Chains A and B, each alone.
Chain A
Amino acid sequence: MRKFAALLALLLLLAALPGAAFAQKTVKFGVFEPLTGANAAGGAEELDGIRLAQSLYPTVKAGGVEYKIELAIADNKSDKVEAANAGQNLVDREKVQVVLGSWGSGLSMAAGPIFRDAKVPAIGLSCTNPLVTKDNDYYFRVCFLDPFQGTVMSTYAFNNLKAKKAVLIREVSNDYSVGLAKFFADNFVKLTGDKGAVLATLNYNTGDQDFSAQLTQVKGLKPDVIFAPGNYTESALIVKQARELGIKTPFLGGDTWEIAEFINVGKAAVEGAVMSTFFDNDAPLTKLSKVFVTEYQKKYGKLPSGTAVLGFDGYLLAIDAIKRANSVDPVKIRDALAKTKGFEGASGVVTLDENGDPIKSAVIKEVKGGKFVFKTTVNP
């Protein structure tokens, strides 16, 4: 027991040392991401983007003081209950000045009121559901919204695929998926002028692995297109199982599909799947785009996804807001964030409206030869 106590004391001392050795002031960015569970790959992508930004821009100056930026990483475990706990932990124990994240709108919505009540601003990275920032003065974001994304994909289905009848497959426990499916359906009905254009809306739960029963129904309906926004692994399994059942209908999805695991799990079956996403590596939008793509490849040895770039941009927007606020006080950072205008990130220019949302263009990509291949850019 004594030995154990001595060891513990030594460990505590070691932990305290760096703080004592470098008496530089710090500002803490909370990273609020799913690092385990169903959405783990999405969280990991955004964290990669944030870490890259941190290695390039490790400090920020405000009020004549240079602050070192520290990351406090909280795993929300892809679970709405855990998300609230992780959010609470960031504001109470870690006392972060600003929060970045989360991948997954439902997770962001679960912690939104906690950030608002604690008066800590949060920057959503790829959470696209409108409800994340609505009625929450402390939530902002750097990505486009689902009403736009739903319009983009339904227009693609109508114009490019000449689709007249669609089937929707929703991850019913996920606010993102349910919202996006609705926005797709609304616009698809408008485009086709046919109230019965959506033949059926089928559901599944996060973590489900067997979709054979739902897909057998789809087989009987014979739609022109299937829109199935949802988590990447479940979606990949859906496409794979659909092909196994002999369904040859094209599959469309949203930004959550552009994750390496979607192709790793779905393999040949997901060839031809089309999705909307945030960023194309080969079409630089700003000066920073190129910096991001080269530095990312240097650090991680692979090409970045459209999700990673948003982690990078969220981090930079936080720095930008601190500079403009000239303070690391969370409320002042919030006020500066709310006034964001013409901020140049790697994924485009961000001007936040009264809800805290930017207007950005969407990129449509297709899985071809085991890669996400750029098809077109759609401007709002």
Chain B
Amino acid sequence: MDRSLLFQQLANALSLGSLYALIAIGYTMVYGILRLINFAHGDVFMLGAYIAFYAVSAAAMPWWAAFAVAIGLTGLFGIGLERVAYRPLRDSPKISIMISAIGASFLIENLGVVVFGGRPKSFASIPLFDTVVHFGSVSVLSVSLFIPVFTGLILAVLLWIVGRTKTGMAMRAVSTDVDAARLMAIDVNRVISFTFGVGSLLAALGGIMWTMKYPQLNPLMGVMPGLKCFIAAVIGGIGNIAGAVLGGLLLGFIEIMVVAFLPQLTGYRDALAFVLLIVVLMAKPSGLLGKRQAVKV
């Protein structure tokens, strides 16, 4: 392969991978604290994108205000979702809460179909994000330069919150032992709401960045990215924030390079991601950066 094409493929991989990483962070954070795989994460992602879309098109807000509103509202929605769908089940077996998550996912998707309609919508072009930037023979969309920056910033901020702040300490305490944390006078509900809020903010940001890069919205747009980012989070070690970034980058890289070097396998690109999931789960279930831990039953 031509050198310039190889560099282009690397740029493609980085831009897709950092987008996966951005969404995987939110996924992994909720899991890290609650040991809950929030299957509705992809649908919260969709919701964030739609709110931003309507804020721009129907409420005629400038894009930055629309994005802020969408991210804020989606965060609140995440907190509400936890209260309605997960909190009542907190003392039930883990499987019930997981089924509730799947139910919530279907509910949001189908409400999306009813409210937003099945026909895809398209985001207005925002010049800041929708400009082609050239580096020699390599060209990328400007949004692809912002995404890795956002991902890096968020990673740093989250690592700081979890590792260095009081809230973070409470989060870690809740994740280790909910009952003991409660005995230490930690407001468990508040910590969990906070986690869900932040997770949903990140989903909204991911959804908005996704539609900047691929400007079409439909009520099922969160399904595939949701699954892919779940895979990314598992590869990196679910619950580990830095692992999610690593997993996302790796998945993006693999997906692009498969098409680049083994074009005959292109049709199996999605299947390959799932094969990867199975391989990781069999070979190293705790993921690349995950710690081995004994499961409490």
Contact = CB atoms under 8 A, between A and B. Distances in A.
Nearest to A236: B216
Nearest to B11: A212
Nearest to A41: B119
B259 interface: yes
A272 B113 CA distance: 32
A246 B132 CA distance: 9
Contact of B16 (A212, A244, A261, A265): A212
A287 interface: no
Given A200-B263, A212-B8, A265-B120, 6 more contacts: A172-B267, A204-B266, A210-B16, A216-B8, A237-B214, A264-B122
A294 interface: no
Interface in A184-213: 200, 202-205, 207-210, 212-213
Contact of A216 (B12, B120, B121, B258): B12
Contacts of B256: 210, 212-213
Contact of A213 (B9, B141, B215, B270): B9
A236 B260 CA distance: 21
Interface stretch (B164-172, B186-194, B217-225): B217-225
Interface string A215-252: 01101100000000000010011001001111000000
Interface residues of B, number: 39
B139 interface: yes
A264 to B, nearest CB: 4
B183 interface: no
B208 to A, nearest CB: 15
Interface string B266-287: 1101100000000000000000
Given A213-B256, A217-B263, A261-B216, A40 B120 contact: yes
B260 A36 contact: no
Contacts of A38: 218
B61 to A, nearest CB: 20
Contacts of A203: 263, 266-267
Contacts of A41: 119-120
A40 B118 contact: yes
Interface in A21-56: 35-38, 40-41, 43-44
Contacts of A205: 267, 269-270
23 contacts: A36-B113, A36-B219, A37-B118, A38-B218, A40-B120, A41-B119, A41-B120, A44-B119, A200-B263, A202-B263, A203-B263, A204-B267, A207-B224, A208-B269, A210-B255, A236-B216, A237-B216, A244-B132, A246-B132, A261-B119, A261-B216, A265-B122, A265-B215
A208 B125 CA distance: 20
A176 B219 CA distance: 24
A216 B214 contact: no
B110 to A, nearest CB: 9
Interface of B: 1-2, 5, 8-9, 12, 15-16, 113, 117-122, 125, 132, 134, 139-141, 214-216, 218-220, 224, 255-260, 263, 266-267, 269-270
Contacts of B139: 244-246
Contacts of A214: 259, 263, 266
Contact of A212 (B12, B113, B219): B12
Interface of A, secondary structure class, is helix
B214 A210 contact: yes
A237 B140 CA distance: 14
Interface in A237-296: 237, 240, 243-246, 261, 264-265, 267-268
Given A213-B260, A216-B12, A220-B5, A202 B266 contact: yes
A297 interface: no
A37 B218 CA distance: 8
A221 to B, nearest CB: 10
A203 B214 CA distance: 18
Contacts of B270: 205
Contacts of B2: 220
A173 B260 CA distance: 19
Contacts of A213: 9, 12, 255-260
A267 B9 contact: no
A217 B260 contact: yes
Nearest to A213: B259
B118 A216 contact: no
Contacts of B263: 200, 202-203, 214, 217
A207 B5 CA distance: 25
B188 to A, nearest CB: 35
Given A237-B214, A265-B215, A219 B5 contact: yes
B5 A233 contact: no
Contacts of A35: 118
Contacts of B121: 264
Nearest to B218: A40
B118 A36 contact: yes
A210 B2 CA distance: 21
A113 B234 CA distance: 42
A233 B216 contact: yes
Nearest to A220: B5
Most chain A CB atoms below 10 A, which of B2, B12, B256, B258 = B12
B9 to A, nearest CB: 5
A267 B125 contact: yes
A203 B271 CA distance: 14
Contacts of B1: 220
A172 B266 contact: yes
A243 to B, nearest CB: 8
A353 B132 CA distance: 51
Nearest to B134: A246
B87 to A, nearest CB: 26
A261 B267 contact: no
A161 B12 CA distance: 30
Nearest to B2: A220
A208 B16 CA distance: 12
Contacts of A204: 266-267
